[in-house]
Amino acid sequence: MTLHIIVPVHNRAAVSERFAAAIGRQTLREFRLLLVDDGCTDDTVERVRAQVGDQRLLVLNGDGNLWWAGSLQMAYDHLLTEMIGAADAVLIINDDVGFDDDFLEQGLAVLATNRDACIQAIGIDRTSGTIDCGAVADLRRLEFRPARDGEQPNCLSTRGLLMDAETFRRSGGLRPRWLPHYLSDYEFTLRLQRCGVRLLVDKRFRAEVEVELTGINAPNATSARALWSQALSNRAKFNPKHWSAFVLMSCPVSAMPSQLARIWFRFARSLLRAARPDKRVAS
């Protein structure tokens, strides 16, 4: 049995090196690191190779436009062509995640008794101490909240997501054309759940994370033109195109018209506010 660890990287050499060093210290040795190099112009790959060695490292090369979902899809396509073993497992993880030396071993111990599940590492935020046990989405209202301790989540993060090879194969991969970055993990795990895969967190499988390390959380542009450019970028967590794609792929059909209208109304209202900063627009 081999654990295939998929980690996308882009110009964070020190962060990626620290991650690779932690992987190199793992008590579990039957792993291979699939490093998806999305157009790095620094020495990320060389630093990672120095930590894990050539035998356990496979580098897949992108052009800088893969983003998160595209990077994972490249790894998915590669693993399918390799015909990985049915007993193998796949871990999707960020390079900014921290963990103990038995992280991989503990994750596979959980998976061994839950082969029908997709398992997220419980994430403990380094700054706030907030614990991420997955999320509960109300897809009719398009509202998300953190799952409480012991509560069943219905969508999970890909900051540390473990499953067996067959589950990964059946998933069909990501949808990078429609969701290149944000929301791709929720759409992916919601889709897995619809296919009968259990979504699970387990206290034995845990990691340190930084929830707000990247991305634009809210509009802050000072003109309508700037807001248009900002909101439609892949870095914007409020991108109306991506939210619309998520609605069409994940929400009940009866809820789609109202949710799409709400998304684009909010975007239009934000544009109006940016165009008329000296006048208040009713909420």
Q: How far apart are CA 67 and CA 69, in angstroms?
A: 6
Q: Which residues pair with 161 in a beta bridge?
A: 92, 120
Average pLDDT, the chain: 93
Residues near 68 by beta carbon (within 8 Å), at least 6 away in sequence:
8, 158, 180, 181, 184, 185
Name the token pair of 233: 């970028």
| Residues 62-117 pLDDT 10s | 999 999 999 999 999 999 998 788 889 999 999 999 999 999 999 999 999 999 99
| Residues 158-171 pLDDT 10s | 999 999 999 999 99
How does residue 153 score in pLDDT terms, banded at 50, 70 and 90?
Answer: very high
Asked whether 146 and 124 are in contact (CB, 8 A), the reply is no
| Neighbour-count burial for 80-119, b at 16+ CB within 10 Å, e otherwise | eeeebeeebbbbbbbbbbebeeebbbbbbebbeebeebbb
Q: What is the mean pLDDT of residues 184-206?
A: 96
